[in-house]
Structure 1
Amino acid sequence: MSAGPPSPNEDRKAQLFALAGELRPELHRYCARLMGSVIDGEDVVQDTLVRAFAALQDLEETPLLRPWLFRIAHNRTLDLLRSRAVRMAEPIDAASDIADSPKPDPVEMLMHQEAVKTAVSRFVELPILQRSVVILKDVLDESLMEIAALLDLTVDAVKGHLARGRARLREINAQADPLPDARPASAAVARYVALFNQRNWDGLRALLADDVKLIQSSYPLRVGSADVGSFFTIYAKSDGVRLAPAWLEGREVVAVFEDRADPKPSYMMWLEWHDGRISFIRDYRYVRYAVADAELALAPDAKPAGDGAAH
């Protein structure tokens, strides 16, 4: 007996699931720059997808999924920024000399290159609407009309925000200090890295708190030392993986290298500690796009290709 055709709601969920996998890197590029943090940006992406799947079942008609997801992400980011008392942008005048063009414009290409190369953390210095418009236009290459629809603005208002945001971003980049040097690794992270590179899985499991939690993208949350301890079994099958202590956005993280010859890490982990034991692990193995925009600096003398303790 056949199960019959899928219900409209099941079909919409399947469409959203497929699109979410394709759109996550783009959503992250947007949210990370809005938040000024690749770590916080990924949290917003994850929250956006959870909210989208929850809301989808209550909709009578299927929305255009791409702009709908971006609007959820945008609104969720605004909620978080408002909670931090970030000031909204002031009213702006139109910039009539900005227009979409079917042919690549040298000035527009220059703006795109500058925005893409700008450190993620610097975008947070722009007022929120200028920030949104610059990211959507110069990083994600959205059209003026698409941006206006997403942000509920007129096209002239989008042009004005874009002109001011670009000018301000140039000032920020011109005045920006070089990224600070990474600090030495903490004793806790150095020990974690050393045990991992020595393949001492029992030693790593001994560092886990009883109620430790593990998050890996959209995979189910793991809770408890027994369940999270099996996480290391996966890495036990990968001889080439090496770790190194690193710093990102003022937070101590762990850089993960899958290729010893590659100077750039493949992805990262982020650990939290309580009373000397690991209480939380965020593994970015399945969301590697987060590292692409990360201003990640290895701790001094970190040697990911080695097999001993970090220095």
Structure 2
Amino acid sequence: MSAGPPAGNDERRAEILAVAGALRPELHRYCARLMGSVFDGEDVVQDTLIRALEALPELDEATPLRPWLFRIAHNRALDLLRSRAVRKAEPIAAASDVVDAANPDPVEMLMRQEAVNTAVSRFAELPLVQRSVVILKDVLDESLVEIAVLLNLTVDAVKGHLARGRARLREINALAGQLPALAPGPASDAVARYVTLFNQRNWDGLRTLLADDVKLNQSTYPLRVGAADVGLFFTIYAKIDGVWLVPAWLEGREVIAVFEDRNNPRPSYVMWLEWQNGRISFIRDYRYSRYVAADAELTLAPQAASSGQE
């Protein structure tokens, strides 16, 4: 009779899940900027956790989990970017004028602040290696040595990519500041109907919108499939007071802003629906991955914005 998997595997699995759970927001900050999308970034994070658990049997017990998870996320994001034929990183010479002090000078701090405040989508305009280095250094505050190990570069090469990436990012931000902001369009009829039914707490009406093979994705929770199972999604929300939905736009995509406090100018999280033949085919609910909305440049649909979320 088989003795089953070693008990240590269960302990290691629990440890990985705990570390990964704590790292999810940080992993997302990296992956979202690497992919140029908060949604694609979250897809990479979820895939990273699945791949990490699959790789558990081959993991050396001495392997530090944090860099290991970042390496999986980095490699997965690169696979996806390459499959989309994103331009390759350009060769770069080493630079010696990038500091890595424990207390950076004011110029260094300004560079980091600019990177943190830069829209997620703009990072996609950087060559891939520059993008990774700038995100890891200026957004996540990793050391040059840690970045070099993760990206398999020398420290001098990291400095060079960082210097050029920062300069290019300043150019991108300057050009973006000269362009007029695009006004978001009004909510589609389908999303407006969904929001209205939800705010009226018409759960049966919402269930009639579900396709027979509808799917529901909620972060690390198991995927729900089918109208009967996904219909329980509304049963759960029926027990929660005060949730209010507003049509919105994010990354050029129509989404739904979810407010738990209607006096708060920013939503707590977002939902995203896919439709097929007038019925909902996919619901992505980011209630359990709220960092997605935290990194998002979200705009309420015009009618919703002018009506004060009423």
Q: Structure 1 length as normaliser, TM-score?
A: 0.95
Q: Is the alpha carbon distance of 1:236 and 1:141 closer, same or farther for their aligned partners in structure 2, counting shifts above 3 Å? A: same
State the SS of the aligned residue for 1:230: helix
Alignment correspondent of 2:3: none
Partner of 1:171: 171
> 3-state DSSP class of the match of 2:158?
helix
Counterpart residue number, 1:123: 123
* 1:43 is the counterpart of 2:38: no
Question: 1:281 aligned to 2:278?
Answer: no
Whether contact under 8 Å (1:195, 1:201) holds in the other structure is yes
Q: CA deviation at 1:91?
A: 1.1
Q: Return the alpha-carbon distance in structure 1 between the equivalents of residues 74 and 300 of structure 2.
A: 32
Q: After alignment, is 20-29 or 295-304 more displaced? A: 295-304
RMSD: 1.5
In terms of mean alpha carbon deviation, does 221-230 or 100-109 score higher? 100-109
Separation in 2, partners of 1:179, 1:51: 39
* 1:55-66 → structure 2 map (5 Å cutoff): 55-66=55-66
Give 5+ residue unaligned stretches, structure 1. Answer: 1-5, 307-311
TM-score w.r.t. length of structure 2: 0.95
Deviation at 1:239, TM superposition (A): 2.2
Matched, 1:260 2:258: no
Change (3 A) 1:178 1:24: farther
8 Å contact kept, 1:182–1:299: yes
CA distance in structure 2 between the aligned counterparts of 1:33 and 1:192, rounded to whole angstroms: 30
Q: Deviations over 1:140-196 (max 9, x none)?
A: 000000000000000000000000000000000000134422111100000000000
Name the aligned partner's letter for residue 45 of structure 2.
V
Matches within 5 A, 1:1-311: 7-176=7-176, 177-302=179-304, 303=307, 305-306=309-310
Quickly say closer, same or farther: Cα 1:269–1:304, change in 2 above 3 A.
farther
Distance 1:61 1:145 in 2: 23
What secondary structure does 1:99 align onto?
Answer: coil
1:309 corresponding residue in structure 2 = none
| 1:184-234 alpha-carbon deviations (Å, 9 max, x no partner) | 110000000000000000000000000000010000110110110010111
Question: How many residues align structurally?
Answer: 303
1:261 Cα shift? 0.3
The 10-residue stretch of structure 1 (104-113 or 284-293) with the greater mean CA deviation from structure 2: 104-113
Change in Cα spacing, 1:135 to 1:285, as seen in structure 2 (3 Å) is same
How many Å apart are 1:275 and its aligned residue?
Answer: 0.5
